[in-house]
Amino acid sequence: MKISIIGSGTVGYAVGKGFSEFGHDVLFCDVSEKRMGKLKEIGENAICENKVRDITFIAVPAPTKNDGTIELRYLTDALRDVGVQLREREDYPHIVIKSTILPHLLRGKLIPLLEETSRKKVSEDFGFCYNPEFLREKHAQEDFMHPDRIILGACDTRTAKTLEELYRPFDAPIYQVGLEEAAMAKYVANNFLSTKISYFNEMYLIAKEWGIDPDMVSTLVKADRRISEYGTVGGREFGGRCLPKDLNAFLHFSNKKNNPKILQAVKQVNDKMKDSKHRRDIEVD
């Protein structure tokens, strides 16, 4: 299968490298000449332009602005390039979004943009799928090759079957779901991790105030088989590229119709932990 990766950063490179391990012809695409130069140096097929192939994965950044809205310009720029190329295609390419995006934007903005620029129709002339990735930044390649589950939110059965076949070599259950469910699952998973970290940070602060050893408490709690070790060591806010931005974006999204008090508290605790008098020097995975 000929695959292109648009956006060849941490996620995009892990995805492309992973599929190349299974014998697929992978082309890395990115606007960064520096990044593409480094990939070429290590023998990867890389170009500084966006290219549509049999399957095109889009893994460009989708950062969150200060007001909680998502900065879509990287994604919309990529989709415009893809749409223009789709005009000339006589086959049935599959466009797969990896970038984290809110559920309502897929049918509300991204698909209409593709249809407008391509002058074609999704599920008639090309396939479309949302396929979220659950990677830790420091272990991206390992996590891609050994996923807990694979979620495919395809618009049509042809794309669903093609991607299921593509992922078949991976030892993980494959879930075929709707677009919105696939997108929502990514946010729910990441926000749960944020919630768990903030919960143990709050317990850490309470234990310290009462002269109780928070690390011993953590050790005793995570011995419960229902509670995994991740996020159980208090003393440090969650950071990185994903958890803070996804929490802020989802709060902005959910505040329109709901009052997500738990997630609001998660953010408050995390902001509090940024204070040097509360935090300690520990590594958060």
Question: Which residues have a catalytic role annotated?
Answer: 242
189/168 Cα distance (integer angstroms): 23
Cβ(63)–Cβ(71) below 8 Å: yes
30/50 Cα distance (integer angstroms): 7
Kindly report the number of other CB atoms within 10 A of residue 48's CB atom: 14
| 3-state secondary structure at position 206 | helix
Of the candidates 242, 241, 253, 244, the one whose C-alpha atom is nearest the C-alpha of residue 273 is 244
| 3-state secondary structure at position 145 | helix
| 3-state secondary structure at position 96 | strand
The token pair that represents 1 in the structure block: 């299968």
